[in-house]
Amino acid sequence: MSIANVRTGAERKTPQALFRVSPATRDGAVNRMTMDLGAPEPHGRTAALGVLLDDCLGFTMYERRGDRAGLVSADLSVDFVRPTGWTGPHLTAEGRLETRGEDGAMSSVRVFDAAGELVATGTAWGNFVDGVQQSRDERPLAPADGSGPTMTPLETIGGTIERTDRGARLTVPPNRSLANALGVMHGGVQACAYDLAGNAAAAGSAGAMDTSSLRINFFRTVPLDRPVVFEAEVLRAGRRVAVSRVTCTDADGRECGVATVTCRRPAPSTLGERDQAPS
């Protein structure tokens, strides 16, 4: 999870800039963030929503942490209600606090497109921590200019995907632009990678599919000084639904988290000429 990105360099990009996510604004009990969709695409890419979802959920808990120093993600759950056909030019996420205890909190989020259609819903649990420096920048870096070419989520994180006997493997090279305020991989970037790997595994078994849900448990922080691997294994592949398990490991082989990714076959009318390779 990322609470903020500290301005250590004037030109260094952040996950928010890479994925065109705006700073959060608070309106009473609701936190709002937007994401520029960039150039129009025939189909939405659910993996691109990871930073928007994680940040909105995280900010909502972080701003209500009381006297605790910071917040780390424990788990993230997302259902993609409309994984394709979003109306631009932007998406809006609305986060709310659901419960708060002494050591943690839970928040929820709903994402809408510019036409007001529901795109995704999600929840997250976060654990409050002490002894860390994790503060919001008063001058957060602005999102990238939406007038430029739009990269796929895979291109944005600089990852590569290869097929395996059991599913797919996504490798993310060292990249400081993917860091959160603590200097480790942003939880939303992890969500993006889990989605990409799980969907690639499903597509390899059953053809082009849309990610319909994502359930992540974060075990430990993910360092960015060496490559990170997201290994996806297909648990079940039917005609309409495929389920994959994705494990994230660091360069020392330690498990940093695990996710269950559920994918559904798109309706024939929405398939068109979709590229069946992962992107």
The model's pLDDT over 62-92, given as tens digits with 9 standing for 90+, comes to 999 988 888 999 999 999 999 999 999 999 9
Q: Which tokens is 224 given?
A: 């960015």
Domain contains 229: yes
Domain contains 8: no
Q: Check pLDDT > 90 for residue 9.
A: no
Residues whose CB is less than 8 angstroms from the CB of residue 85 and which lie 6 or more positions away in sequence, other chains included: 43, 44, 270
Q: Check pLDDT > 70 for residue 273.
A: no
Domain contains 2: no
Host domain of residue 199: 15-130+153-271
Domain contains 206: yes
Average pLDDT over residues 211-235: 98
Q: Check pLDDT > 70 for residue 110.
A: yes
Domain contains 27: yes
Domain contains 187: yes
Question: What average pLDDT is seen over the chain?
Answer: 87
**Digit-coded pLDDT (tens) for 121-178:** 999 999 999 987 655 443 344 444 444 457 899 999 999 999 999 999 999 999 999 9
Domain contains 125: yes
**Digit-coded pLDDT (tens) for 24-67:** 999 999 999 999 997 655 445 899 999 999 999 999 999 999 88
- Please provide the DSSP assignment of the chain as one string: --S----SSSS---HHHHTTBPPPEEETTEEEEEEE--S--SS--GGGGHHHHHHHHHHHHHTT-TT--EEEEEEEEEEES--S---SSEEEEEEEEEEE-SSEEEEEEEEEETTS-EEEEEEEEEEEESS------SSPPPPPPTTSPPPPHHHHHT-EEEE-SSEEEEEE---GGGB-TTSSB-HHHHHHHHHHHHHHHHHHHHSS-EEEEEEEEE-S---SSS-EEEEEEEEEE-SSEEEEEEEEE-TT--EEEEEEEEEEPPPHHHHTT---S--
The count of domains in the chain is 1
pLDDT of 38 reads 74
pLDDT of 144 reads 45
Q: Check pLDDT > 70 for residue 277.
A: no
* CATH number of the domain where residue 83 is located: 2.40.160.210
Average pLDDT over residues 226-242: 96
CA distance 119 to 177: 27
pLDDT of 206 reads 76
Are 179 and 5 a contacting pair, CB within 8 Å? yes
Domain contains 230: yes
Are 55 and 33 a contacting pair, CB within 8 Å? yes
pLDDT tier, 278 (very low <50, low <70, confident <90, very high otherwise): very low
pLDDT of 67 reads 87
pLDDT tier, 6 (very low <50, low <70, confident <90, very high otherwise): very low
Q: Check pLDDT > 90 for residue 1.
A: no
- Please provide the DSSP assignment of 118-144 as one string: EEEEEEEEEEEESS------SSPPPPP
Q: Which tokens is 21 given?
A: 């996510």
Q: Check pLDDT > 70 for residue 17.
A: yes
Report field, pTM of the whole predicted structure over 0.85: yes
pLDDT of 269 reads 60
β-strand pairing of 90-100 with 241-249: unpaired
Are 202 and 234 a contacting pair, CB within 8 Å? yes
